[in-house]
Each structure stands twice: as C-alpha cells, then as structure tokens.
Structure 1
Amino acid sequence: MPAIAVPAFALTWWLGCYLVARDPARVVLWRAGGALGSYAVAVVAWSVAPGSTAARVLLCVPALCWSGVATALLPRGVPERRQVNRGWAYASGLFLLLALLLPGVGKLVALAPLAGATVLLVRYRDRVRPASLPAALGAAAALYAAGLVVMLAPIDLGSAEVVLAAIGLDLLLLGFLVAVADATEAGERLVPDLRRSSVAAVVATLLCGGPAALTMLAVPASRTVTVLQFVLVAAVMGAVGLAVPLRSGLDRLAFLQDERLRQDRSALLLAAEALPRRRERHRMIAMDEEEFRRLTRRALDDFGDVGRLLRNPLIDLPMVDRRLHTRGPGVAEQPLVRAAELRTVLAEHVAKLRPAAGFGTTDEWRWYNALHYCCVLGLRPYDRAPQTDGLGRDARQALDWFRRHVPRSTLRRWTAEGADKVAARLWRDLLSTDPRWLTRADAVRPGR
C-alpha cells in the first residue's frame, strides 16, 4: 500500500497546491485544488483504515468539488451560470450530508451534482475555451465515476489500492485540464511553468516520498508513524506547489526591517515568475477581436496587480513598444517598465470615456466612473470599511455614490461594458496604425 499511496498522495497534493498558487483569486482553481486535496486526505484515511467510512466519504468529496469546477467553467452570459454557481455550495453540502448518512452504494449520490454540472457544461460546449475542454472533462468525470462505483459498490475487480491509484490519475488529469483552461483564459503559456513545478515535484517525491514509504513498510502496524510520514510529505510537496507565495512570505519575514530590499526582491520575483507564463510575442498577431476584448477586460481588472499585468499578452502591444522606444535603447526589454507603460495606456483610454465638466453620476458617466474609480484608482466600495486615506473630493463622492445607489451587479455590468469600449478603441488603434494588423485584417475579411 505505501508504494502506491505515497506517490498518489504526493502528486495530487502538489498539483492542488500548484493550482491554487497560480491565481489565488480564481474560484475554479480553489475548487480543483479542493478536489485534489480531498482525494489526498482520502488516501491517508484509506492507508490508516482501509475501507473505513471516513475514507469512503472522503472519496466522494472530489465529485462535489469537481461539479463546482464544471459550473465555474461555464461561459459568461449563460443564463444559468449565476444561479448554478450560487447554489453549488448549498447543494454540495446537502449531498455531502447524504453521502455521510447513506450506507455503501448510497454514497454514490455524491455523483449527482457532477453529472448535472457536466451535462450543463457540454450543453454550452460551443462557447467554452478551449473547445475540447467539455469533452475531456466529461470523459474524465465518467472514469472517476466508474472508479468510485468500484470502490463503494460490492464489486471485486482486484486490489482496491490499484483502483484508488487510478482515481488519483484521473484527478491529476482533471487538474491539468483546469490548468489549461486557466492559462487559456489568462492568455498565458502553461507548459514551461508546469514543467518547472512538476520536475521539482517528481524530485521531491523521490527524495521525500521514498523514505516515507520505506518507513511505513518498516513499521506497518503504527498508525501514528503512517500519519506523520504523510504530514511530512504534505509539507514538502506543499512547499513545491506553493513555492512563489511561500518565497514572498519568507522575504517579508526575513527582511522585515528593510522595506527597500523587500520591494526590490518582490519586483524581481514578479518578473521571474511571469517569464515562463508569458505568451510568445509572435502569437499576438494571431489574436482575434474577441480574445483582445477579453484580455483588455482582464488587464483592467488586474490594473493594480503588477504580477498579473506582467503575464498579460497586452504588455506586448505595438503602441507600448512605440512609446518605450522613444525613451532609449533597451528600455522596451524591461518587463516592469512595460507593465507600467501598459497601465498608462489603459488609464489614458479610460480617461477618454470621461464626459465634459466635473464629477457626475448620470448615465453618460457610468462607464468612466466604474473603470476610473474601481479599476484605475482601485476603490473597493462594497468593503465593510473601505480605505479613504488620500482620496480626493471626487473620489470620495464616487465612493459614497457607489455604496448608496449602485448595486454590486450593476457595477460589474458597467465595468464590463466600459472595458469593451476601451478594447474597441485599442483595437481600432491597432488596425489603423500598425501594418501587421492591417495586413491581417485584409486577410480575414469575408470573400478573401
């Protein structure tokens, strides 16, 4: 059992941590990480007490998390998306309770939300990116369901440990598919960054998991030793998967009294982390208007996050190149400078949405107010105690207006509409000023 359980635990725990560390703000990554993490805990429970109720229930939890992944991947604009995502947590709690109370095969009720969410995702497969994702997730879900049936039903297909390992492989595939979806949504590369982390994970599994498995084999009757070995492996693999936030936290702790050193190291770490995830420059010319609009919305949402802007393909906009080349040779090759210039470009185009005269709250102001105050200035009007230090009179008025008169859903809609306006302006600038986009536009016109 340790020869199978330790690698299965180590790799799924690592991938769950890696997905969360990719972008802690994305709900879909947390849900996928939850599926992998709950399976890893189930492996520990099965190793300590094979076939126990706790282990069987824990094996059902990935199905509930996986259903949350499928609902989070539904494309924007789907009528059911908001309601399904809102009800997912309540439904998952209900089905988890049923899985806990029902005996044996009855625990398979946990597969119901997964089946429903997968059907819904396949239904809108023509609007999901990448296009092959719904089919791949559906196939992986079917394999997971088959493995869970074998584990919970009175079916004897050989060693339960082998079936448990097969479920782990299936969940690793799920994690990979979610990473692909995240990279596609963000316009980033996945393979170089995933390769770097996976190599470290394999090395850590050999160096730490091997001795842990041998220790369990040497003391087979001690549950305490078994649990402690899994805790050790979890700490090591978690450090591999969470390498970037862990390193940043250690810097803040080690250089507590040296703010300048912390800032310099933070800037270097952000640039180093973004490098393997940045899309190749030559692929920008293949970008269509819809993808350009989506990346513009993302850049405005991430206006205050330098790390995310460094990974956004818009950092290589030709207009950013032109502006930086006027500053002298070599400036355009500095990633942090490019991110700052992209910020400037976005802020200037947001400013073009501003109506004449002073601050206003009429309909013609809605796009500018949403983007300028909530994206560019970073106001968070719905926080319990929003920060107001250093804000000017107009910003304070805008903050009060948002809190009193603008629902959160309305602000999100205004932000999306305003971002589309900015994207349309940027796209027109590309088509009118850059010969590569002119050539491409001619090539893709209907009838050509």
Structure 2
Amino acid sequence: MTALVPAVAVPSFALAWWLACYLIGRDPGRWVLRWAAAALATYAIGVAAWTVAPGAMFAQVLLCLPALGWAGAVVALLPLTPPERRPIDRGALVLGLLFLVMVVALPGVGRLVALSPLLGGLTLLWRLRAQVVPRMLPLALTLMAVLYAFALGLLLSPAELGGDALLIGAIGVDLLVVGYLIAVAHATEAGERLRPDMRRALIAGLAATVLVGVPAAVTMLLVPGHDGVALVQFGVVAVTSAVAGLTGRLRRLLDKAALYDDAALRSDRSTLFLNADALLRRREPRRLGSIGEPEFLRLTRRALNDFADLDRLARSPLTDMPVVERRLAGREDQPRARARELRAVLRESVSALRPPGPFSTTDDWRYYNVLQFCCVLGLNPYARRQRGDGMSREARLAVDWFRRYVSRDVARQWQREAAMVVAERLWTDLGGRHRALPGRPATDEITTRNA
C-alpha cells in the first residue's frame, strides 16, 4: 500500500460518511435526504472495500451504487402533483432494483449501466426546470453527473492508468458537492437556513477527520497488508464522523439514557436544545416580507403537512407572520413558542373552511375534511391498520368516507387545493394583494371536476 492510498481513502471516507449522517440527521423523514445519504454511505463503504481489495468486484459495485441513490434523490426533487408522482416513484423503485441486479451481474465497464436511471432523472428535472428551486440546480447536478461518469468510467476501464486513488478521490468530491446541492435544495424548499447549521457541522466533521483520520491513515500505512487493521481504522473513523454529523440527535439519546428517571428535566433540556437548533435554521425575519406568492404557497402547504411536527414548524418562516407576532405579544419569544402559535393560526384557518351545519361529506366539505382530519388530526384513512380508539364520531365517519369513496391521489389533490385557500387567507394578513394565488383553480372548475 502506497502512502497515496490512505491519504486519499481516509479523508474521502470520513467526509462522505459525515455528510451522509448530517443529511439524515437534518430531517430523517425526507426521502430526498435519505437517497442522498444512501449514495454517500455506499460510496464510503466502497472506498473502504477498494482500499482493502483494489479492483475487486464488490468494491466496483459499491462505487457504482451512488448513481442509483443519486437518481432517487433527483426523482424526489421533481415538482410533481400527487397523481403524477405515484407512478414515477413506483417506476423509479422498480427500475432501481432492476439496475442494481444489472450492476452486480455485468462485468467491468458494463456496470456503467448504473448511470441510466440518473440520466433519466436528470432529463425529467430539466423538463420541469421552470418549477425547480434553486434555478441553477439542474445545471449543477448535470455537471457533477458528467464528472462522476467520466471518473467512474476511467476507474472501471480495463486499462491500467495507475491513478485509481485519485479517481476515487475525484468521485468523492463530486458526491460531496451533490450532497451539498441536495441540502441546499431541501433547505430552500423548506424555507430554512442552511449555512450556519452546516458550517457548525462541517467544522466538527473536519475536526474528526484530522484528529482521528490522520492517526488512522498513519496506522494503515505502518501496518500494510493487514485487512483487519484497515477495517478497524475505517470503523473508528465512521463512528467519529457519525458523532460529528449526528450531534443533536445523539445528544437527545444520551439525555434519554442518562436522565431516564427525571422526565421534567429531560423535557426542559430537550426544549432548550430544539430551540437552539431551530435558531440556526430559521430564516431572517425580514425575508418573509420579500417572498413571492408561489413560495408563500409552498411554505403554507409544507406547514400544513408538518402540522403535527412542532420541530419542523419551529423552523418555518411562517412563524414570523404578523398574526403570530400579535399572538406572542408580552410572552416569551422562543422558536417553539412561535411554532405553537403558528399551529393555532393554521388550526383556525382550517376551522374557517368548515361549512355551517352538521358534519357532511358533500362537495362543499371536501377542503375542510381533508385538512381537518388528515393534517390537523393527523389521521391516515388509507393505513392498513386503522385504530379507532379515542376518535370522535365525526372522525370515524370521515375516515370511513375517505377509505370508501376518495382515492389517495384525489385526497392529496384536494389537500393541495385546500392549502391554496388557506395560503390566500394568510397572504392577505401578511399584506399581500387580495387575489387568487398562482395555480389555484376556480371554484366552479373544481366543483365540476370533482362532482
């Protein structure tokens, strides 16, 4: 083993593993972050495998798999309506499994077939680029894909080029940039700040790479030919990088273990830490007054989807709306307190959609029903195991109605349309002009289509 191998492999492994953990820790429920983290994690494992067994089939497969995870992240970024997204998501999953089998079965450069789903995903992203934010995302991802394909092709080539370590490092740089771009896209779509939180995590990741990665690389260089020693060093680096990327979540787990017998103290500490994390990711208050109607609609729809998650609501720019400010007057101003008031505002806005009279499932009730029962109450009418414990009579009737007469795609479309109505009410309070938000269909058109 030459000095170049651990000098490239260890930092590439450490930074890729750190960024994968950071993306998962940032918001585990978002598929776009899961796919990006999977791409980075498989690359990191591939680096370790290549270091132990250069050119082995297992290592080649692992270094090709990030393309499939990358393709999944691109598909998750597509701005699609619910009826459009379901077949594309299903098709992407089936094709991903098919190409995974092909990557394992094909030899050498034939494994470049893993790039096909990525090419398809980027093609769709370019077709919908007018709706993609940030606007430069398709171009940046395409450029990184070209560089990744070039480096991967040289790495899998049967020709002896003598620069495998540098090619692996180049692939790692590409994937780190892609991970950063995915984080930017997620933060933009969610209305959150990225730079302060990522800067703090990056400093921790670099510190872990230097303090643990350098001794690991030196150990691997001084004890060449011992695969067990190399794998142990990669394991130590992986643990340290994971701690740097998952600091907040690990801290909460430690509190649960150490303070298991003091629920009040544990709850207070959790609130303080969550407030601190939210402060790093909240947008500046002045930004809310400068956003346009389409972004305001997207933020409102996201807030309704996250109604039950107070942590996500605490990071929403909508917590700076004037109506929230008025409700907080004279009380402690903390991110979670703002999130609770935003939740109350959203609940009142949904209640305002309720038509007069007893509960019904007529066409006039569809917007109220889909937001009240699916967002505010957090019920999933399409769950296989539906528990009716503690549900009101109205909730049971609504769940039964959704299951029997409303398809999942129609319910999601209604939810999008209802979010437009709520967004228009909030936009008026914000000081926007009183007109229908972009994309909101006329009431008569909706009634005719869904009758």
Q: State the TM-score, normalizing by the size of structure 2.
A: 0.92
Partner of 2:437: none
- Comparing 86-95 with 184-193, which one deviates more in the overlay? 86-95
Check whether the contact 1:150–1:156 (CA below 8 A) recurs between aligned residues.
no
Question: Per-residue displacement from partner, 1:104-149 (whole Å, max 9, x unpaired)?
Answer: 1111111111112112211221211110000000000000000000
| CA RMSD between the two structures | 1.6
Partner of 1:203: 207
- Quote the Cα distance in structure 2 between the aligned partners of 1:364 and 1:266: 42
Check whether the contact 2:40–2:175 (CA below 8 A) recurs between aligned residues.
yes
1:267 aligns with 2:271: yes
Q: Secondary structure at the match of 1:333?
A: coil
Check whether the contact 2:83–2:409 (CA below 8 A) recurs between aligned residues.
no
Question: Per-residue displacement from partner, 1:293-333 (whole Å, max 9, x unpaired)?
Answer: 110111111111111011000000011112222xx2xx262
Amino acid at match of 2:125: L
Q: CA deviation at 1:33?
A: 0.5
- Quote the Cα distance in structure 2 between the aligned partners of 1:130 and 1:209: 34
Amino acid at match of 1:365: W
1:19 aligns with 2:23: yes
Equivalent residue in structure 1 for 2:47, among 30, 36, 43? 43
- Comparing 363-372 with 255-264, which one deviates more in the overlay? 255-264
Partner of 1:229: 233
Partner of 1:166: 170
Amino acid at match of 1:359: F
Partner of 2:187: 183
Q: CA deviation at 1:401?
A: 2.4
Partner of 1:400: 400
Q: After superposition, where does 1:89-104 map in structure 2 within 5 Å?
A: 89-104=93-108
- Quote the Cα distance in structure 2 between the aligned partners of 1:49 and 1:386: 50
Q: CA deviation at 1:102?
A: 1.3
- Comparing 5-14 with 94-103, which one deviates more in the overlay? 94-103
- Quote the Cα distance in structure 1 between the aligned partners of 2:203 and 2:332: 32
Partner of 2:360: 360
Q: CA deviation at 1:154?
A: 2.8
Q: Secondary structure at the match of 2:289?
A: helix
Partner of 2:345: 345
Question: Per-residue displacement from partner, 1:154-199 (whole Å, max 9, x unpaired)?
Answer: 3444421011000000000000000000000000111000000000
Question: Per-residue displacement from partner, 1:329-354 (whole Å, max 9, x unpaired)?
Answer: xx262222211111111111100100
Q: CA deviation at 1:73?
A: 1.2
Runs of 4+ in 1 over 6 A off after TM superposition: none
Check whether the contact 2:373–2:398 (CA below 8 A) recurs between aligned residues.
yes
Partner of 1:319: 323
Equivalent residue in structure 2 for 1:83, among 80, 84, 87? 87
Equivalent residue in structure 2 for 1:258, among 255, 262, 268? 262
Equivalent residue in structure 2 for 1:280, among 265, 279, 284? 284
- Quote the Cα distance in structure 2 between the aligned partners of 1:287 and 1:83: 32
- Quote the Cα distance in structure 1 between the aligned partners of 2:113 and 2:322: 54
Amino acid at match of 1:420: M
- Quote the Cα distance in structure 1 between the aligned partners of 2:21 and 2:238: 10
Check whether the contact 1:370–1:415 (CA below 8 A) recurs between aligned residues.
yes
- Quote the Cα distance in structure 2 between the aligned partners of 1:301 and 1:149: 42
- Quote the Cα distance in structure 2 between the aligned partners of 1:243 and 1:81: 34
1:411 aligns with 2:418: no
Distance 1:263 1:399, change over 3 A: farther
Partner of 1:376: 376
Q: CA deviation at 1:400?
A: 2.6
Q: Secondary structure at the match of 1:286?
A: coil
Check whether the contact 1:17–1:242 (CA below 8 A) recurs between aligned residues.
yes
- Quote the Cα distance in structure 1 between the aligned partners of 2:406 and 2:276: 40
Distance 1:156 1:79, change over 3 A: farther
- Quote the Cα distance in structure 2 between the aligned partners of 1:395 and 1:263: 31
Q: CA deviation at 1:405?
A: 2.9
Equivalent residue in structure 1 for 2:310, among 306, 322, 332? 306
- Quote the Cα distance in structure 2 between the aligned partners of 1:132 and 1:4: 30
Q: CA deviation at 1:356?
A: 0.8
- Comparing 315-324 with 78-87, which one deviates more in the overlay? 78-87
Of all paired residues, the percent bearing the same amino acid is 54
Q: CA deviation at 1:270?
A: 1.3
- Quote the Cα distance in structure 1 between the aligned partners of 2:398 and 2:255: 37
Distance 1:208 1:387, change over 3 A: farther
Amino acid at match of 1:190: L
- Quote the Cα distance in structure 2 between the aligned partners of 1:347 and 1:77: 24
Q: CA deviation at 1:13?
A: 0.5
- Quote the Cα distance in structure 1 between the aligned partners of 2:334 and 2:41: 38
Amino acid at match of 1:390: G
Distance 1:262 1:91, change over 3 A: same
Equivalent residue in structure 1 for 2:68, among 45, 64, 67? 64
Q: CA deviation at 1:80?
A: 5.6
Q: CA deviation at 1:262?
A: 2.3
Q: CA deviation at 1:381?
A: 2.3
- Unmatched tracts of structure 1, length 5 or more: 432-436, 439-448
Partner of 1:192: 196
- Comparing 357-366 with 177-186, which one deviates more in the overlay? 357-366
Partner of 1:445: none
Distance 1:402 1:254, change over 3 A: farther
Question: Per-residue displacement from partner, 1:220-266 (whole Å, max 9, x unpaired)?
Answer: 11101111111111111112112222222222222223222222222
Check whether the contact 1:321–1:332 (CA below 8 A) recurs between aligned residues.
no
Distance 1:229 1:257, change over 3 A: same
Q: State the TM-score, normalizing by the size of structure 1.
A: 0.92
